[in-house]
Amino acid sequence: MESPKPQPQNLDEYSAATTVINFDRPIPLLRGPIRRPSPSSGPYVLAFRDLQTWFSALKSSESQILDQCVTGARIGCALTASNKCKPPWWRSLIGPKQTDLKAREHCEAREMEACFVTAKEKCVAFAAEKCATPFRDAWIATRVNPKVARKLIGWASVPERCTWLNSIGLDLGDCEFGETNCYRASELLGSNTDFGSDRFKVKGFWGGH
């Protein structure tokens, strides 16, 4: 006859709170499968659901790259300012003075500011450059043709929809809503090669929205 198995001494080690692993909620997909305009290259393509989603993703990506670049630039500028303003080697032989410490503090603040202004401008250009090609070639789903879509860009500052539509010479009949198609961002945004999010704005007036 088999002897009974011993019970674990610490049952808390086997509780749900201890043994179950919690995972973060999945991040919603920014792009979804849309039928290609040309089935010969494959039945589906991953596309942003509208221009507003594409623009939001572009702006978010640029912002994240810019934040990382600025953080690194701030550290680099601090090191550069410290090196530029450090006293000569022979100063330690005669002993530091209080005036020397204040002068170095002012020097570092001045050098840090000058360095950071230049570095931040370069970070903005770097972020735009890194996002340009991927977002220019990205697919976007829309229910209006590219000619109309181009007219819907750059007028977000107009407060009234009717004023906005009249300003660009559009009415609802011009939009020709139909089945959803997908286009490259470069097709919808025209020949402009500067795809930085600060260069244009999009109005929330895309197919079905």
Q: 130-141 pLDDT, tens per residue?
A: 999 999 999 888
> pLDDT of 90-114, one tens digit each?
777 777 677 778 899 999 999 999 9
In a domain, 32, yes or no: no
Beta bridge partners of 139: 47, 184
Q: Which parts of 86-137 fold into alpha helices (H)?
A: 91-94, 98-136
Range of the domain at 70: 44-188
What 3-state DSSP class applies to 44?
A: strand
**Residue 200 domain-assigned (yes or no):** no
**Residue at 5 is within a domain:** no
Based on DSSP, count helices (H) and strands (E) in the chain, helices before strands. 8, 4
Q: For the chain, what is the domain count?
A: 1
Closest to 78 in 3D by CA, of 70, 66, 88, 68: 70
* Euclidean distance between CA atoms 193 and 199, whole angstroms: 10
pLDDT at 158: 41
**131 is a domain residue:** yes
Q: Kindly state whether residue 24 falls inside one of the protein's structural domains.
A: no
pLDDT in tens, 57-87: 999 999 999 999 999 999 999 999 999 998 8
Which residues is 142 bridged to in the sheet?
Answer: 181
161 inside domain: yes
Residue corresponding to tokens 């221009």: 51
